[in-house]
Amino acid sequence: MNIGIVGAGAIANFLMKEINQNGTGEMQIKSVFVRDPGKYQELEHQFDVKLFDHLDAFLTSGIDIVVEAANIAAVHEWMPKILPKKDVVLISIGALADAGFLREMNDLAEMYERSIHLPSGAIGGLDLLQNAHADGGVSDVSITTRKPARTLMNHEAATEEVIVFDGKASEAIKQFPKNINVSIILSLAGVGVEQTNVTIIADPAVENNIHTIDIKGDFGTASFSVTNNPLAANPKTSYLAAMSILGTLKRLTNPIKIGG
C-alpha cells in the first residue's frame, strides 16, 4: 500500500520513520503534501519520499490512500478535494464536530465509494462503545480529561486542580481545538457531540494526559482510564495517538480483522 501524507509535523515524521525506515515493506509512504516544499527538503533524502505543493500532482503520484496529519483548518480546506479521489485516514477528527461538514464528508464518501478511517487516537474502547450502541442502547457517555496544568492555564502556576471545562463535546472542541479531539471520536462512536459529556481538568499534580471514560447503557456499564506518554518528538502529542494511526494503516493491509 502506497501512502500519501498531508503535513510534515511530528506525527508525519513518526510515520515516515516507522513505515519507511523500520517497516516490513507492506506499506510505503511515497508522497508528502506541504505548502512550502523548500522548508522540508531534507525529508526527501531522509525518508525517500517526494514533496508536493500542488494537490493534483500529489493525488496522482501513485498513492493508494491519504493520511491527513495537519490540523482542522487543513481538513476543511483539502478533504473535500481529496475524498473524491482517495480513501482518507483522518487525524484532526475535531473537524467532524461541525455537523454540516460531517454530512458533506459522509455524502462525498458515499457518492465516490470512498472510506474515511478515524484512528482511536489517545483513547480506547471505541469498539465496545460501538457494539453496545448498535441498537441505540447506550444512554450516557462521558470523558474526563486530566492534563498538566501548565498546558491549559496561561497564568501563574496552579497549586490545585481546576476544572477548566464542563459541558458537551460540541462546545469542548470549540474552546479546546488542540486538546480534546478524543471527545469527538468518542462522540462519533456513540451518542453524538450534543450528548457526550466532557470535563477537562488542569491538574498541577500530573505530568501526563489522563483520559477516563464512563459508559452506561442496556448492556451494563464500562469504565476505563488511559494515561498517555508523550511523543518524544513533540510532548504536546500523545505517543498512543501516533501509534493509533500506524495501527489503523497496518489493519488495512491485514486480511484478518480483529474487533469491530
> Which secondary-structure segment (H or E) carries 30?
strand 28-33
Classify domain 126-228 at the CATH superfamily level: Dihydrodipicolinate Reductase; domain 2 (3.30.360.10)
Q: Which three cell numbers stand for residue 76?
A: 476543511
Distance between CA 23 and CA 31 in Å, rounded? 16
Closest CA to 80 of 58, 56, 105: 105
Q: What is the pLDDT of residues 165-194, one digit of tens each?
A: 999 999 998 898 877 889 999 999 999 999
pLDDT confidence bin for 157, thresholds 50/70/90: low
Distance between CA 229 and CA 237 in Å, rounded? 9
- For helices 99-112 and 72-82, what crossing angle results, to 10°? 30
* β-bridge mates for residue 206, sequence order: none
Catalytic residue among 45, 117, 133, 211: 211
pLDDT confidence bin for 30, thresholds 50/70/90: very high
Query: Which residues does 24 contact at the CB level (< 8 Å), separation at least 6?
Result: none
Distance between CA 90 and CA 88 in Å, rounded? 6
Q: CATH for 2-118+240-252?
A: 3.40.50.720
- Name the residue ranges covered by the structural domains of the chain: 2-118+240-252, 126-228
> Which secondary-structure segment (H or E) carries 76?
helix 72-82
**What helix, strand, coil percent values describe the chain, rounded to 5?**
35, 30, 35
Looking at residue 67, what is its pLDDT? 98
Q: What is the pLDDT of residues 194-209, one digit of tens each?
A: 999 999 999 999 999 9
Phi, psi of 242 (to 5 degrees): -65, -40
Q: Are 169 and 183 in contact (CB under 8 A)?
A: yes
Q: Is 54 a catalytic residue?
A: no
Distance between CA 99 and CA 101 in Å, rounded? 6
Distance between CA 52 and CA 220 in Å, rounded? 50
Looking at residue 257, what is its pLDDT? 85
Closest CA to 94 of 110, 78, 71, 117: 71
In the chain, % of residues over pLDDT 90: 86
Q: Which burial class, exposed, middle or buried, applies to 8 when counting CB atoms under 10 A from its CB (0-12, 13-18, 19+)?
A: buried
Q: Which three cell numbers stand for residue 159?
A: 497549586
The yes-or-no answer to whether 2-118+240-252 and 126-228 have a common fold is no
Q: What is the pLDDT of residues 109-129, one digit of tens each?
A: 999 999 999 999 999 999 999
Q: Are 4 and 67 in contact (CB under 8 A)?
A: yes
DSSP state string for 153-182: --SSPPSS-EEEEEEEHHHHHHH-TTT-HH
Question: Rg of the chain over CA atoms, in angstroms?
Answer: 19
